[in-house]
């Protein structure tokens, strides 16, 4: 690359990170996807990963899509749902197409409530649907049965409306301050959200003077007692930040990472809506009792949006309590975290890591740095099993191929720079 080209790229990368860091994600509403998400149709189903045609959707992710369509009543039975997916009557799209972000299979249907997160400055919005709960059998892990359906109906009919009236009563809630503080309390906001849940609770109570007569607070307490509740807010906030950082001309910074049943994909700020894909990521972690590597099934995952903005694996040293969950040691976590500074172009100004003497989290993954160093992004993740459900947890590494493909595309798009 020429010196001029290199300078242009560096400037663009700094601007990308500046936009990302300066985003002010605010929770403004909780309501059905069809009401909140521009472009969502009654027959829309979203799923995780780089956009792909229905015929490429296999395994647990396929089951999750079918389950979401059945749950939404987009067919009288499984056979009809599959027929309508085959024919295109059901409009299957990628979460990212509609500023949504998906957990594991990441399926959305029209009636599912979503967190609506808005950047206070630009008004840009991102969305994430709600956590299904701690049962290993969840729609997003490819399971759909009566128990799953009942839980989804509770989320739609009880939890969603309760959350909506809560937010309506207390007003818009800034998420970045909660996230910054949670990093000082042992969370990395991907696999661990314990502190953020409690800080969310405290923030609500702090503004809930007139709410105590209603049933809102006990309901909220019940939700927050589930230590993954905040993850969906963290994901929506991260999506809001990453989308704000997307579209900076000449930038080689990654603005989305996503897993699907077919592998790993990334999107780059300066390379438009193109996705660069590779094989599934490499898993290092531990399996829950009775499961082995043979049971692993990749069925999607976009919670790694957290890593895209400097959280999760990129702030692992903030969350030493994860070592047990992930089967590793603290020193390994710190080492992995430090490694991420070699592939990023900035350090976060308000997401800081106490154990690294309050150094800002590494942020802004540069595709060229990844390829030059051979160091790929480290991500905290739950692991799905072939027969559905979560079967393990740990750390995954992105495959190098996506970054190589993105670098090649960048060079093609910038012939003057080469």
The Cα–Cα gap between 416 and 82 comes to 48
**214 lies in the site for a copy of itself, by CB under 8 A:** yes
- Helix count and strand count (H, E) for the chain: 15, 14
Q: Which is nearer to a copy of itself, 31 or 189 (CB)?
A: 189
Q: How many residues does this entry show for the chain? A: 418
**405 lies in the site for a copy of itself, by CB under 8 A:** no
**324 lies in the site for a copy of itself, by CB under 8 A:** yes
- Element holding 277 (H helix, E strand): strand 275-278
C-beta of 222: minimal distance to a copy of itself in Å? 8
CA 314 to chain centre: 14
C-beta of 223: minimal distance to a copy of itself in Å? 11
**208 lies in the site for a copy of itself, by CB under 8 A:** yes
With 0-12 CB in 10 A as exposed, 13-18 as middle and 19+ as buried, what is 40?
buried
**194 lies in the site for a copy of itself, by CB under 8 A:** yes
C-beta of 303: minimal distance to a copy of itself in Å? 21
**169 lies in the site for a copy of itself, by CB under 8 A:** no
Q: Which is nearer to a copy of itself, 182 or 305 (CB)?
A: 182
**213 lies in the site for a copy of itself, by CB under 8 A:** yes
Longest dimension (CA), the chain: 66
Q: Which is nearer to a copy of itself, 224 or 257 (CB)?
A: 224
The Cα–Cα gap between 121 and 25 comes to 9
**289 lies in the site for a copy of itself, by CB under 8 A:** no
**198 lies in the site for a copy of itself, by CB under 8 A:** yes
C-beta of 195: minimal distance to a copy of itself in Å? 5
**387 lies in the site for a copy of itself, by CB under 8 A:** no
Of these, 296, 330, 400, 417, which contacts a copy of itself (CB under 8 A)? 330
**329 lies in the site for a copy of itself, by CB under 8 A:** yes
Interface region with a copy of itself, contact rule CB under 8 A, candidates 35-43, 117-125, 134-142, 208-216: 208-216
C-beta of 61: minimal distance to a copy of itself in Å? 34
**320 lies in the site for a copy of itself, by CB under 8 A:** yes
Q: Which is nearer to a copy of itself, 30 or 204 (CB)?
A: 204
User: What DSSP string runs through 106-142?
Assistant: --B-TTSEEEEEEETTT--EEEEE----S-S--GGGT
Backbone angles phi, psi at 18, to 5 degrees: -60, -45
Interface region with a copy of itself, contact rule CB under 8 A, candidates 101-109, 124-132, 158-166, 355-363: 355-363
**158 lies in the site for a copy of itself, by CB under 8 A:** no
C-beta of 50: minimal distance to a copy of itself in Å? 36
The Cα–Cα gap between 124 and 329 comes to 39
The Cα–Cα gap between 211 and 227 comes to 23
Do residues 179 and 196 lie in contact, with contact meaning Cβ atoms separated by under 8 Å? Answer: yes
Closest alpha carbon to 308 in 230, 242, 353: 242
The encoded tokens of residue 42 equal: 């009654």
The Cα–Cα gap between 236 and 175 comes to 10
The Cα–Cα gap between 333 and 398 comes to 16
Interface region with a copy of itself, contact rule CB under 8 A, candidates 20-28, 352-360, 368-376, 393-401: 352-360
Q: Which is nearer to a copy of itself, 202 or 408 (CB)?
A: 202
C-beta of 196: minimal distance to a copy of itself in Å? 10
SS (H, E, C) 279-341: CCCEEEEEECCCCCHHHECCCCECCCHHHHCCCHHHHHHHCCCHHHHHCCCHHHHHHHHHHHH
**206 lies in the site for a copy of itself, by CB under 8 A:** yes
Binding site for a copy of itself (CB under 8 A): 184-186, 194-195, 198-199, 201-202, 205-206, 208-209, 212-215, 217-218, 221, 224-225, 320-321, 323-324, 329-330, 354-358
């Amino acid at each position: 690359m020429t010196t001029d080209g290199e300078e242009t790229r560096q400037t663009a990368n700094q601007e990308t990170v500046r936009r990302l860091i300066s985003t002010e994600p605010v929770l403004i509403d909780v309501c059905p996807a069809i009401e909140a998400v521009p472009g969502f149709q009654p027959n829309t189903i979203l799923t995780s990963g780089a956009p792909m045609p229905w015929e490429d959707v296999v395994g647990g992710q396929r089951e999750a899509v079918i389950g979401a369509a059945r749950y939404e009543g987009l067919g009288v039975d499984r056979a009809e749902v599959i027929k309508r997916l085959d024919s295109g009557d059901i409009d299957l799209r990628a979460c990212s197409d509609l500023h949504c972000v998906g957990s594991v299979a990441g399926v959305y249907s029209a009636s599912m409530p979503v967190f609506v997160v808005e950047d206070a400055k630009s008004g840009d919005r991102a969305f994430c649907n709600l956590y299904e709960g701690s049962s290993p059998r969840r729609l997003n892990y490819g399971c759909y049965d009566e128990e799953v359906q009942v839980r989804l109906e509770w989320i739609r009919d009880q939890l969603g409306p309760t959350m909506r009236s809560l937010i309506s009563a207390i007003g818009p809630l800034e998420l970045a301050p909660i996230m910054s503080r949670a990093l000082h309390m042992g969370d990395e906001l991907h696999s661990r959200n314990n502190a953020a849940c409690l800080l969310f609770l405290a923030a609500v109570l702090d503004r809930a003077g007139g709410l105590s007569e209603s049933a809102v607070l006990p309901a909220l307490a019940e939700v927050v007692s589930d230590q993954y509740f905040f993850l969906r807010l963290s994901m929506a906030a991260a999506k809001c930040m990453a989308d704000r950082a997307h579209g900076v001309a000449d930038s080689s910074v990654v603005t989305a990472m996503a897993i699907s049943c077919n592998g790993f994909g990334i999107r780059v700020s300066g390379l438009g809506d193109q996705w660069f894909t590779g094989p599934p990521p490499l898993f290092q972690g531990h399996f829950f009792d009775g499961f082995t590597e043979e049971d692993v099934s990749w069925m999607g995952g976009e919670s790694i949006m957290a890593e895209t903005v400097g959280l999760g694996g990129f702030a692992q040293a903030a969350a030493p309590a994860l070592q047990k969950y992930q089967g590793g040691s603290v020193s390994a976590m710190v080492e992995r975290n430090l490694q991420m500074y070699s592939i990023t172009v900035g350090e976060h100004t308000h997401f800081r890591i106490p154990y690294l003497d309050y150094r800002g989290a590494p942020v802004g993954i540069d595709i060229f740095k990844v390829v030059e160093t051979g160091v790929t992004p480290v991500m905290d993740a739950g692991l799905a099993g072939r027969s559905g459900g979560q079967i393990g947890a740990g750390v995954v590494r992105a495959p190098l191929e996506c970054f190589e493909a993105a670098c090649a595309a960048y060079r093609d798009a910038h012939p003057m720079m080469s």
